[in-house]
Amino acid sequence: MPEEERSTLVRSFNRTEAEYPKDHTIHGLFEERAEQRADHPALVWGEQTLTYRELNEQANQLATVLRERGVKPDDIVAIMAERSMEMVIGILGTLKAGGAYLPIDPNYPEERIHYMLEDSGASILLTHQHLRDKLTYHGAIIDLDDESLKHTELDRANLEPVNKPEDLAYIIYTSGSTGKPQRGHGRTSGNHQPPAILPGTMGCGRIGPDVAVCQQLV
């Protein structure tokens, strides 16, 4: 789909003025929607479709792995991924684990990627196998394409919530006047909308601070 058409669809069908409960977390709202619409399509990518149940379960499996790696509230999990189902699973899995995600566009210059990883203090990086060569990152790396993340022995149930609405949900970097990227952040409460989640039946822009806010999942 051409980028101009994609942007028009996002603006037309993903209005950002909706009100959300301030005492709910973003991922908590998604879990409620997943229970209500379990067998409805949540994510369509090419010929692939995930229902709300499937998306929720795969995010839970990743969240279990992240919890086992020690992720807790306000810990930063970097996500350097191309637009894909795995990107959405990575975002939801990070939030469900209790952490905050840092979206990184894989097309950024290596120097900028390195700065964002170092400055944020990201403890774990989620990425695709073929993007790892771009990195000089010494923390833990989880391959989003790893099929073992979907093994049945990993718990598919919703995790025990650990977040408060004031906990970090994400941090983003924008171009700064000093030449170095400037950091911003958002909270896990429902009235703070994440900057990079794909909606139920269409793809949004790149993972990065300039992507559209898409709310259909919640």
| Residue environment code for 57-66, b if the CB has 16+ CB neighbours within 10 A, otherwise e | bbbbbbbbbb
Using the predicted structure, report yes or no on whether residue 179 has a pLDDT greater than 50. yes
Residue 197: predicted pLDDT = 46
pTM of the model: 0.77
- The domains located in the chain, with CATH, are 3-187 (3.40.50.980)
- Number of residues assigned to the chain: 218
Q: What average pLDDT does the structure give for the chain?
A: 76
141-174 residue pLDDT tens: 999 988 877 665 667 899 988 888 788 888 988 8
Average pLDDT over residues 182-193: 58
Per-residue pLDDT, 185: 67
Max distance between CA atoms of the chain, in angstroms, equals 49
Q: Can you list the pairs that 21-24 forms with residues at least 24 positions away whose Cβ atoms lie under 8 Å?
A: 21/190, 21/191, 22/165, 22/189, 22/190, 22/191, 23/165, 23/189, 23/190, 24/165, 24/189, 24/190
pLDDT given for residue 116 in this prediction:
92
Residue 13 pLDDT greater than 80, yes or no: no
